Structure 1
Amino acid sequence: MQDYQNEMFPDVVGITDADMIPDPKPEFTLSATPAFSPKSLFVDAEKCVVWQHTARDADKLVDADIRPLAESIKASGQQVPVRVRRLEDDRLEIVAGVRRWKAVRLLNDEGYPVKLLVQIVQMDEDAAFRFAAAENGPRSDLTPIERARFYQAAIDHQYHTGKACADAFGLHKASISRVLDVLRVLKFVGKKIDDHRAISAAQASWLMSLLRNVNDEADPTDEGLEGDRYAEVIAAIDAAAAGSAAEVFGQLRQALAPSHKDGGIDIVVDDDTILGSITRSKSGAVRIAIGPEAGSVELPTLIASIRVALTTLRAG
């Protein structure tokens, strides 16, 4: 099989910069030193190691996550090469394409002797960070916390400030900060949420906005807190029952939302959309009013939001 693959893909392939970056936004150019020299070939997957700053958390990828990709590679072959750079010990370091690498390894473990298609590119750390940012930017399957850890690694090891990181990746500083809120919020709700990968940037930024001044993008400090409001938020977090990200943030939104004049509770989803309200009459009867916005929400999400609102109403 190896001979067939290398007949189809010679060692050197005429690939342009445009082929390397399928999405032109943000703009990306490799640094002049070292030179850019792409080279594609098939190799043993075991010869590769993962770059420590890659956005994808390889250790968290289980077989179920990559099974569809593995089956696709088995049926049709690997369509996109894994981008790697050569290390001094002749191993190959994966800069982008961890899921493809894991999928090929899964097939190998199951007795299917497929090789990994890689593209060898010479690049320094700055170029590696910018290349990974450009490739991962449009990917919807990258979780917010994976994206946040990648940005934090870029700041810690290469760019030193959020602004420099944003400039390198062609993003706004506020966009970087919004994603980093996913890491910041773990300090407050990390022990409450069973799967941190499910925390959205919208959820994290909403809670962090309550824990710091509007103009403060850093972690909350004693000088940046709002006294009584901060204590109220912390009390709500302490009182929230552990569960999924949707359940925990749903409880917090209900606990920290302005009260209705009639004592009712809004039915809210993660992006702050109000789907309706729940009220209780003087006789104790509960009335659930659903608005037209609920028509665009999946039924399990709607039911979970109603459950959170009902629990909050009863607790009040």
Structure 2
Amino acid sequence: MSDKREKRGGLGRGLSALMADIDPPNAETRPADQPRRAELFVAIERIEANPDQPRRTFAEEQLEELAASIAQRGIIQPLIVRPHPEKSDAFQIVAGERRWRASQLAKIHEVPVIVREFDDTEMLEVAIIENIQRADLNPVDEAAGYRQLMDRFGRTQEQMADALGKSRSHIANSLRLLNLPADVQGWLAEGRLTAGHARALVATEAASDLARQVIAKNLSVRQTEALVRKPDKPSKPKRSADESKDADTRALEQDLSAAMGLPITIDHKSGADTGKLTIGYKSLEQLDQICQLISRGLD
């Protein structure tokens, strides 16, 4: 069987095409007295949130600030909605959930909307790109959005990088954050840890304990990396070898790890042209991924 969707390039029919008619330049900064592009105004109770919304956390303080702005100036940029797939005379938010939530706080009864006939794939794609471009998803929600596209719709890291204007290493590094324990992901989402801290903790099984130390001592990313490298039971030869590894070698390890989405270490013998490269994996699926990459290189 053939599926027209499979013939489309990039993500779905292309995020640039999806967003072209609903995201005009400088929409958020245009004067409030200019005509809105809304197709209609809809009672707020007829609108429901997107169940696959990539943003899972909404800062209460920011919502209150937005609500105050909406109460004073109204909603400048309309919500993007689609007809609700299960309820007649109702709509589902594609982009603009923060505005919808803030409008409820501001006691607004109707909101401006633009209606589009998006399917589930396009709806998720637009929700992710809208959040990334405008609201700066926290690193955990961003990674979860990428994972949704990969698991539910079969997107590759290369496709997402091209369509979202991100590097493949950025996508790979984001996805690695989902390997962290739930408590560490929570601290990352709350802003108590940065993405740099979190990436340093991905490679250790003691991520939760080390993350607590990082937060308590307010350690920098470099200090966190050193903390991760430090063995539980000091072994001077091993620690000396780790500390003597030059910056170029460490940078190459990070680049290769980001490109493959797997932990990679390089042990280069000082003063020689030889060494050892080690690729780690946590599942048979990852081992299969490594074998496929090597096989393609041998073709």
Q: Choose which of 169, 172, 176 in structure 2 pairs with 1:174.
A: 169
Deviation at 1:201, TM superposition (A): 2.8
1:118 aligns with 2:113: yes
Distance 1:119 1:77 in 2: 16
Deviation at 1:255, TM superposition (A): 2.2
More helix as a share of residues: 2
1:205 aligns with 2:199: yes
2:160 — aligned with what?
A: 165
1:186 aligns with 2:181: yes
One-letter identity of the residue aligned with 1:163:
E
- In structure 2, the CA distance between the partners of 1:151 and 1:246, relative to structure 1 (3 Å rule), is farther
One-letter identity of the residue aligned with 1:253:
E
Distance 2:50 2:211 in 1: 38
- In structure 2, the CA distance between the partners of 1:235 and 1:182, relative to structure 1 (3 Å rule), is closer
Distance 1:165 1:93 in 2: 24
1:80 — aligned with what?
A: 77
1:66 — aligned with what?
A: 63
TM-score w.r.t. the length of structure 2 is: 0.56
TM-score w.r.t. the length of structure 1 is: 0.53
RMSD, matched Cα:
3.7
Write out aligned runs for 1:28-47 (5 A): 40-47=39-46
How many residues of Structure 1 are paired with residues of Structure 2 in the alignment?
203
Deviation at 1:103, TM superposition (A): 0.5
One-letter identity of the residue aligned with 1:183:
L
Long gaps (5+) in structure 1: 1-15, 25-37, 212-232, 262-316
2:54 — aligned with what?
A: 55
One-letter identity of the residue aligned with 1:136:
N
One-letter identity of the residue aligned with 1:64:
E
Q: Secondary structure at the match of 1:79?
A: coil
Deviation at 1:65, TM superposition (A): 2.9
Q: Deviations over 1:256-280 (max 9, x none)?
A: 468999xxxxxxxxxxxxxxxxxxx
One-letter identity of the residue aligned with 1:127:
E
Q: In percent, how many aligned pairs have the same letter?
A: 27
Distance 1:132 1:144 in 2: 15
In 1, are the aligned partners of 2:139 and 2:189 still within 8 Å (CA)? no
One-letter identity of the residue aligned with 2:91:
L
Q: Deviations over 1:277-308 (max 9, x none)?
A: xxxxxxxxxxxxxxxxxxxxxxxxxxxxxxxx
Q: Secondary structure at the match of 2:40?
A: strand
- In structure 2, the CA distance between the partners of 1:239 and 1:246, relative to structure 1 (3 Å rule), is closer
In 1, are the aligned partners of 2:141 and 2:189 still within 8 Å (CA)? no
